[in-house]
């Protein structure tokens, strides 16, 4: 009997230590709209209602801060009655945004993912930077029946390095 108690106590301590170690590796950001968990190796920045996360190792006060980040901002794309969601996403993806000079994209329907319904992966070239940026956007239908998305974007050479952290952030988002 004592042996079982020691085994259970050891198991409890291992589980408690693991969960505490996980908590020591992340921070929580909350506002009135959402709650987000992010790695301590990243920092949060933004103003006037915009929130971005960027790895501390690449923090600069340059244009890259605008394009190398995880964006959790409310980006709404209306869907009109009867409009095909995939067509709406094709139209959205084909439009060049500020400072973009070239973009290729792929739209994937996420059949088995419960939180998001579509993913768009893009390669983007900006007019002031000689590098290709990779972007992934995850879309869901919000309570107002409009499309909304969260985005991760990084220089192509660094995209995979920070991908897991970016997905931790995106998957941790809880609407409030």
- State CA 135 to chain mean position distance: 10
Is residue 141 included in any domain, yes or no?
yes
Stated pTM of the model: 0.81
Task: Spell out the SS3 assignment of 25-48.
Answer: CEEEEECCCEEEEEECCEEEECCC
Is residue 61 included in any domain, yes or no?
yes
CATH number, domain at 134?
A: 3.40.1000.10
Is residue 31 included in any domain, yes or no?
yes
Is residue 109 included in any domain, yes or no?
yes
The number of folded domains in the chain is 1
Q: What's the alpha-carbon Rg for the chain, to the nearest Å?
A: 20
Is residue 10 included in any domain, yes or no?
no
Q: b/e map of 98-116 (b: 16 or more CB within 10 Å)?
A: eeeeebebebeeeeeeeeb
Burial of 136 (0-12, 13-18, 19+ CB in 10 A): buried
The one-digit pLDDT tens for each residue of the chain (176 residues) are 665 555 444 444 444 444 444 557 999 999 888 899 999 999 898 777 788 999 988 866 555 556 788 998 888 999 988 899 999 999 999 999 988 999 999 999 998 877 899 999 999 999 988 889 999 999 999 988 899 999 999 999 999 999 999 999 999 999 88
Is residue 4 included in any domain, yes or no?
no
Q: Residue 154 belongs to what domain range? A: 26-175
Is residue 19 included in any domain, yes or no?
no
């Amino acid at each position: 009997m004592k042996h079982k108690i020691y085994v259970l106590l050891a198991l409890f301590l291992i589980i408690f230590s693991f969960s505490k170690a996980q908590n020591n590796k992340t921070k929580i950001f909350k506002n009135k709209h959402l709650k987000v968990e992010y790695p301590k190796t990243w920092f949060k920045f933004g103003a006037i209602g915009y929130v971005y996360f960027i790895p501390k190792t690449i923090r600069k006060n340059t244009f890259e801060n605008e394009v190398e980040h995880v964006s959790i901002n409310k980006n709404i794309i209306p869907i009109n009655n009867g409009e095909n969601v995939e067509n709406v996403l094709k139209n959205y993806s084909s439009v060049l945004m500020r400072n973009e000079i070239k973009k290729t994209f792929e739209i994937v329907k996420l059949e088995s993912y419960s939180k998001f319904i579509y993913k768009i992966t893009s390669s983007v070239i900006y007019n002031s930077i000689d590098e290709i940026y990779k972007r992934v956007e995850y879309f869901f239908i919000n309570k107002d029946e409009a499309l909304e998305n969260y985005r991760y974007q990084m220089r192509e050479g660094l995209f995979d390095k920070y991908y897991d952290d970016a997905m931790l952030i995106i998957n941790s988002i809880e609407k409030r």
